[in-house]
Amino acid sequence: MPNDPPNAKATAAASPLAQLQPRAAGWSAQWHGCALDSAFQPVLSITHQRVVGYEALLRVTDGSGHAIGPADLFATAEGAEAQQLDELARCLHLANFVEQGVETGWIFLNTLPRSARAADLAQAAIDGLCGHFDFPHERVVIEVLEQRGGDEYSSFVDERPPAGERDFLVALDDFGAGFSNFDRVWRYRPDIVKLDRSLVTRAANGESHVGFISELVSILHHAGTMVLAEGVETEPQLMVLMHADVDLVQGFWFGEPQASVREAGAAANALAQSMWRRFADFQRSAEIIEQVNFGALSHAMLCGARVLTGGGTLEAAAEAIFRDGASHAQRVFTADEHGAQHEPSIAMPGAGPPARLAPFYPDTDSNWSRREYFRRALAAPGRVAVMGPHYSLNDGELCYTAAIALDYGGATHVLCADFPPEHGPRERPRRGPG
C-alpha cells in the first residue's frame, strides 16, 4: 500500500490511511486502545444464483482481547470523533478487500447518517479512497445505517443526485426496524433497501403473514429499488424470501463473516445453485395445500350460488356456505354489477361486528368495486375468484375473500364470502423441505 495518496482526490482519505497497520494478512487499526479488523459476509443474487458482493463488517477487540460490539464502540464516540471512526472503518475495510485481490462484485461499506450530512464531503471521501486504492467507484455500495431520523441526514439527501447519475450505489440498512421507514426511501433514493432480520424471522415463523413480506417487497420495487434481506439463517426463511421476490440475500445460511473474503464465500455459490431446487420442492408442497383448500372454498361458494340462482334468499345461500364446514366462512354478502351492496352482510352464527368498528355499520350502501376479487369475479362469471389476505373492514382482521358472479333476478350479482387466512388457499407451510 503506498505511503502517500497518489493524487489530489485522495487527500480526504489521507488521515485514516495513516492509521492503518500491516499484519500477517492484510491490515488492522487502533482506536482508543481497541484493535479494529475487517470481516466480510457474502451477498447473493437469487436470480443470478451467485455471490455478487460482500458486506464489510467491523470486528473490535479491547486491550484484554475481549470482543466488543461495533455499536458499543460507536456509542462511545460523538460528533467529529464518530465521523473519524466511521471513516477509519471504511478505509480499513477497503484496504483489506483490495489486499485480497477480489476482482468482481460490490463491497458494502457501512456509514452513519451523521457522517454523510454533506453530499460533497461524502463524495470526496469516496473519491479519496477509490483513488488511493485504484478501486472502481461503481463497485462501492455505501450502506447507510438506521439511526433516529429528523434533520440528521436531510442536507445529505436533499443534495444527492438521482440514482442513475451516481457513480456508486447507496443501500439503506435495517428497513422495518427502529426508526426506519419509507421517509428514508424517499429521501435517499437508494439503489438497495435491506430488510431488517426481524421481518424475515417473523414471516418464516408465522408471526407475520408471508403475504406481508411479498407486499412490502412489491412496494419497494415500485419505489425503484432492489430489496436485500439480511439475517437469513434457515432454509424456511430463504424459501419465504424467494416466494416474496426478494432480489438479494445474506446471512449465516450462506456463510459466516470471515477475515478472508474467499473463505467467507466458499460455500455460498454451491448453496445458491441448490436453492432453486429447494424452492421447487417448497412450491410443490405449497401447491398441494392450495389445491385442497381452494377446492373446499369453491365447493362452498358453488353451494351458495345454486341457492341464489334457484330463487333462494341471501340468508339461505349463507346458511349453505356456513354448513360446508371445510370453508370456515365468516361472513357472506352480495354486491351488484357496480359493486354496490344493498343487503346487510350475514355473519356466521355466534359472530358479529366488533364494537370498535361500529361506525362501519350498517354496511348496506357499501361499494366493493375496487376490490380485486370483485373485478376478477366479474371478468369470469360462474368461476370462483379468491384474493387476499387483506384487512377486513367487517371485523378488523386479516381475511381472504372468495367471489363468484351470477345472473339471477334479471341482473348480475357477485356473491362474496370472507374467511380467515389460516384456511386460505395461499397459506404456505411454515417449514421447508427437509
Report helix angle 235-243 to 268-309, nearest 10.
60
Q: At which residue does the C-alpha cell 477480489 appear?
A: 102
111 within a domain of the structure (yes/no) = yes
Longest dimension (CA), the chain: 91
Q: How does pLDDT run across 32-79, given as a tens digit for each residue?
A: 999 999 999 999 999 999 999 999 999 999 999 999 999 899 988 888
- The number of domains in the chain is 2
Question: Does 370 lie in the same domain as 262?
Answer: no
Question: Does 302 lie in the same domain as 250?
Answer: no
pLDDT of 6 strictly over 80? no
Q: How does pLDDT run across 264-323, given as a tens digit for each residue?
A: 999 998 898 899 988 988 877 766 555 546 778 888 999 999 999 999 999 999 999 998
278 within a domain of the structure (yes/no) = no
Question: Does 303 lie in the same domain as 250?
Answer: no
Question: Does 300 lie in the same domain as 214?
Answer: no
Q: Tell which of 249, 266, 283 closes a domain.
A: 266
Give the other-Cβ count within 10 Å of 233's Cβ: 15
Q: What's the CATH number where 317 sits?
A: 3.30.450.20
The predicted model scores a pTM of: 0.77
201 within a domain of the structure (yes/no) = yes
378 within a domain of the structure (yes/no) = yes
Question: Does 252 lie in the same domain as 309?
Answer: no
Among the listed residues 229, 236, 231, the one whose alpha carbon sits nearest the alpha carbon of residue 256: 231
CA 81 – CA 356 distance, rounded (Å): 51
Task: Note down the domain range covering 341.
Answer: 291-423
Question: What does the pLDDT read at residue 98?
Answer: 96
Q: What's the CATH number where 146 sits?
A: 3.20.20.450
Question: Does 300 lie in the same domain as 246?
Answer: no
39 within a domain of the structure (yes/no) = yes
Give the other-Cβ count within 10 Å of 403's Cβ: 26
Q: How does pLDDT run across 142-161, given as a tens digit for each residue?
A: 998 866 544 444 434 444 55
Q: 219 falls in which pLDDT band (50, 70, 90)?
A: very high
Question: Does 385 lie in the same domain as 311?
Answer: yes
107 within a domain of the structure (yes/no) = yes
Give percent above pLDDT 90 in the chain. Answer: 54
